[in-house]
Amino acid sequence: MLDTHARKYVQPIIGNMAKGLLKLGLSANQVTWAAFLLGLSTGFLVVFNHPYLAVLILWISGYLDAVDGSMARLTQKTTPWGTLLDITFDRIVELSVIIGLAAKFPEARFLLLLLTASIVFSMTVFLTVGALTEKKGIKSFYYQAGLAERTEGFILFSLMIILSQWLLWLTAIFLAVEMFTALQRMWEAKRILKDL
| Residue-wise burial string across 148-165, b where 16 or more C-beta atoms lie within 10 A, e elsewhere | bbebbbbebbbbbbeebe
pLDDT in tens, the chain (196 residues): 666 667 788 889 999 999 999 999 999 999 999 999 999 999 999 999 999 999 999 999 999 999 999 999 999 888 889 889 999 999 999 999 999 999 999 999 999 999 999 999 999 998 888 888 766 555 555 667 778 788 999 999 999 999 999 999 999 999 999 999 999 988 988 887 876 5
Q: For the chain, which domains are there? A: 2-194 (1.20.120.1760)
> Which phi-psi region, left, alpha or beta, contains residue 25 (left: φ > 0; alpha: ψ -120 to 50)?
left
**The pLDDT value given to residue 142:** 67
Closest to 54 (Cα-Cα) out of 62, 43, 68 = 43
